[in-house]
């Protein structure tokens, strides 16, 4: 039974990937014009655009373009940037490598503190602790990300002496070769504010979802039975409450991690952080459709992958999922 469930989820994820690849192909060909017609440069004459269109295969029928697109994907080729004429993946590796630790830092922060606040709020329902946790979670959850980022720049950066833009100190290593520790510390300083901005917004998500799931679980009959047996509150919350409230939390974690490749466009834009989110904005400004197409596909595949991981974890957390 469990093997059938796992096989079904994997097959469903595979079909979803095929659908996502097809939609990603159709999306960029459904808009008026094509990738070449959007080019803006001095040398972009009519003849130059026709040559570019032929090199990209845009003069072929759609079915032929789709076949070429799938063939290139199977070989790990996502095309070349129209701006730099370099392979798209070579263009994206550095932004992805910059984004992932920043997003991971903010996500881990939100998971830890949001879950703790949600559990404590549900445990101390209708008390001052509950209301404080609930109101702060609602406050951060409702804040526009870019507005919170600007508040960080205006009021937090100066107080803590943290940089507000970039990923490294431009003066680092000018006179002497910096140590590995100095480079790591400098990178951490530059990613603290964007990671904290993301973490505070996600913190509201985790706190509210965890509180709601815990309140529902703590009202179940088996929890009342555990109380009647004389178990301590901490045991009830940890063993009977939190464990059975993990399903929605795992789902939220999977969704959060799914966007780790996509970055946080507004946050990276506010802090001029050279990640995949800022690369997306630049690709839009420069009409670089192959780069955008690759970013959208990577983001979609990331979401599908982490949702598959969440589905497989459900089997361990709640065997009833398999029976359903």
Among residues of the chain, what percentage have pLDDT more than 90? 19
Helix (H, G, I), strand (E, B) or coil at 87: strand
Mean pLDDT, residues 216-229: 79
Half-sphere exposure of 25 (CA within 13 A, CB side): 20
Summarised one tens digit per residue, pLDDT across range 233-286 is 777 777 777 777 788 888 888 877 776 666 578 888 889 898 888 888 888 877
Q: What is the dihedral of CA 133, 136, 142, 145, to 10 degrees?
A: -120
Three-state secondary structure of 43-85: CCCHHHHHHHHHHCCCCCCHHHHHHHHHHHHHCCCCCECCCCC
18 CB contacts (<8 Å, ≥6 apart)? none
**CA gap 299, 141 in Å, rounded:** 23
Short-list 107, 102, 106, CA closest to 252: 107
Rg (the chain; Cα; Å): 24
The structure's pTM equals 0.81
Q: To which residue do tokens 């990738």 refer?
A: 35
Query: How far, in Å, are 15, 108, 260 from residue 120 at the CA level?
Result: 41, 18, 28
How much is the pLDDT for 138? 92
Domains, in order of start, for the chain: 2-74 (no CATH), 89-315 (1.10.3720.10)
Mean pLDDT, residues 218-223: 78
**CA gap 153, 164 in Å, rounded:** 6
pLDDT band (50, 70, 90) for residue 11: very high
Residue 29 has pLDDT above 80, yes or no: no
**CA gap 103, 191 in Å, rounded:** 9
**CA gap 30, 138 in Å, rounded:** 39
**CA gap 204, 128 in Å, rounded:** 18
Going by the DSSP 8-state scheme, the letter that residue 38 receives in this structure is T
- Mean pLDDT of the residues in the chain: 83
Letter string b/e over residues 214-226, b meaning 16 or more CB atoms within 10 A of that residue's CB: bbebbeeeebeeb
Summarised one tens digit per residue, pLDDT across range 118-144 is 989 988 888 999 999 999 999 998 988
């Amino acid at each position: 039974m469990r093997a059938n469930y796992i096989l079904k989820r994997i097959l469903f994820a595979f079909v979803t990937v095929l659908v996502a690849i097809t939609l990603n192909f159709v999306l960029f060909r459904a808009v008026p014009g094509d990738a070449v017609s959007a080019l803006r440069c001095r040398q972009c004459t009519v003849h130059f655009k026709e040559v570019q269109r032929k090199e990209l295969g845009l003069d072929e029928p759609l079915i032929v373009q789709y076949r070429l697109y799938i063939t290139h994907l199977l070989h790990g080729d996502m095309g070349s940037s129209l701006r730099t004429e370099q392979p798209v993946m070579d263009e994206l590796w550095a932004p992805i490598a910059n984004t992932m630790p920043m997003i991971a830092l903010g996500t881990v922060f939100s998971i830890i503190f949001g879950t703790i606040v949600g559990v404590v709020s549900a445990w101390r329902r209708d008390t001052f602790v509950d209301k404080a946790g609930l109101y702060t979670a609602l406050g951060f959850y409702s804040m526009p990300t870019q507005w919170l980022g600007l508040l960080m720049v205006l009021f937090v950066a100066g107080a803590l002496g943290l940089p507000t833009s970039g990923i490294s100190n431009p003066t680092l290593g000018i006179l002497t070769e910096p140590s590995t520790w100095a480079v790591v510390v400098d990178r951490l300083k530059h990613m603290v504010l964007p990671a904290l901005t993301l973490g505070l917004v996600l913190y509201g998500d985790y706190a509210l979802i965890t509180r709601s799931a815990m309140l529902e679980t703590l009202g179940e009959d088996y929890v009342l039975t555990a109380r009647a047996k004389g178990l301590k509150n901490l045991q009830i919350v940890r063993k009977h409450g939190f464990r059975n409230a993990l399903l929605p939390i795992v789902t939220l974690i999977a969704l959060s991690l799914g966007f780790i490749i996509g970055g946080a466009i507004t946050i990276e834009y506010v802090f001029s952080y050279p990640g995949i989110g800022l690369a997306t904005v630049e690709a839009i400004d420069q009409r670089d459709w192959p780069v955008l197409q690759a970013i959208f596909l990577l983001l979609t595949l990331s979401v599908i992958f982490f949702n598959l991981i969440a589905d497989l974890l459900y089997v361990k957390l709640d065997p009833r999922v398999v029976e359903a």
